[in-house]
Homo-oligomer: A and B are copies of this chain.
């Protein structure tokens, strides 16, 4: 007779406002947490519907796009776990929403996700925290591994050491290495911690979400879930850059999305502080035309 399971739902709800990627949190204690819910099989026919209802009940929000991320079930991942009690397993979800309108709960807050992962934002150049606090410690961790080639390759690839390229999608891998070397406050033993901590393993779930969304925008047109129906190309680019934490080449980005058939001009123009910009809308037919219709550009 297997022990008891408590199945939770942990949604990472993302919105981008003025090139700042925001994640929806509940701040009712020391550390922000995700607006978690629990799955009651008597009420919901599917896990996704349960997640949607839980989000609606918790924060009064109707997310358009929602996808399952990963299921977390390590022992003691939730401090409520006791010797004879249930295991707290939780399913992470990624939700995307176009505007940060909320139901009005007091303790709900949108937070810039780079507060939790300052080393992930390369838009204003290489993050200072890397050379100040990360590179040396990862190097020490590699050296400490001695002949462990796996550890060397892992660390080098994750943090772009020795000239290795930075992989914007390896968010979880980096977080896990930092956890392993005690550089985040969630680790059982830690010092000189980086980034703002979250409750439980929620920063790990957020890392999973960021990695997923960074990968996904490159081959699925999910970026448009975060934008109004019509937008300028600069708005689109800034949103992509916000998620990816990197700058893109303007003309090449335009060429990619326009010639690639991802967007189509509306003919209307919008005032800027310079030449007015044409507005565009997503062109859904591209899904059937290209194998990977996303904004996959370096």
Complex CA–CA separation, A289 to B161 (angstroms): 10
A-side interface size class: 35 or more
Complex CA–CA separation, A153 to B75 (angstroms): 43
Inter-chain contacts of A288 with B (CB < 8 A): 153, 156-157, 161-162, 164
Chain B proximity of A216: nearest CB distance (Å): 12
Complex CA–CA separation, A149 to B283 (angstroms): 12
Restricting to A1-43, which residues have a CB under 8 Å from any CB of B? 2-7, 38-42
Q: Is A71 in contact with B74, judged by CB distance below 8 angstroms?
A: no
Complex CA–CA separation, A288 to B38 (angstroms): 40
Q: Is B2 in contact with A5, judged by CB distance below 8 angstroms?
A: no
| A134: Cβ under 8 A from any B Cβ | no
Restricting to A137-187, which residues have a CB under 8 Å from any CB of B? 149-150, 153-154, 156-157, 161-162, 164-165, 167
Inter-chain contacts of A157 with B (CB < 8 A): 287-288
Q: Could you mark each residue 32-73 of chain A with 1 if its beta carbon is under 8 Å from any beta carbon of chain B, else 0? A: 000000111110011100000000000000000000101111
Q: Which B-chain residue is minimally distant from A154 (CB atoms)?
A: B287
Q: Is B91 in contact with A71, judged by CB distance below 8 angstroms?
A: yes
| A103: Cβ under 8 A from any B Cβ | no
| A291: Cβ under 8 A from any B Cβ | yes
Q: Is A71 in contact with B47, judged by CB distance below 8 angstroms?
A: yes
| A87: Cβ under 8 A from any B Cβ | yes
B2, B73, B153, B287: the one contacting A287 at CB < 8 Å is B153
Restricting to A198-213, which residues have a CB under 8 Å from any CB of B? none
Q: A71-B71, A91-B71, A164-B289 are in contact. Are A3 and B284 (CB under 8 A)?
A: no
Chain B proximity of A50: nearest CB distance (Å): 8
| A127: Cβ under 8 A from any B Cβ | no
Chain B proximity of A49: nearest CB distance (Å): 9
Q: Is B285 in contact with A153, judged by CB distance below 8 angstroms?
A: yes
Q: Which B-chain residue is minimally distant from A87 (CB atoms)?
A: B41
Q: A70-B68, A153-B288 are in contact. Are A7 and B89 (CB under 8 A)?
A: yes
B74, B75, B167: the one contacting A291 at CB < 8 Å is B167
| A86: Cβ under 8 A from any B Cβ | yes
Q: A47-B89, A153-B288 are in contact. Are A3 and B164 (CB under 8 A)?
A: no
Inter-chain contacts of A149 with B (CB < 8 A): 284
Inter-chain contacts of A291 with B (CB < 8 A): 165, 167
Which residues in A have some Cβ–Cβ distance to B below 8 Å? 2-7, 38-42, 45-47, 68, 70-75, 86-87, 89, 91, 149-150, 153-154, 156-157, 161-162, 164-165, 167, 284-285, 287-291
A-B contact sample (8 more), CB < 8 A, given A45-B74, A47-B71, A47-B72: A2-B6, A2-B41, A4-B41, A5-B39, A47-B73, A68-B71, A150-B284, A165-B291
Nearest first, the 4 closest Cβ-Cβ pairs linking A and B are A41-B87, A2-B40, A156-B288, A157-B288
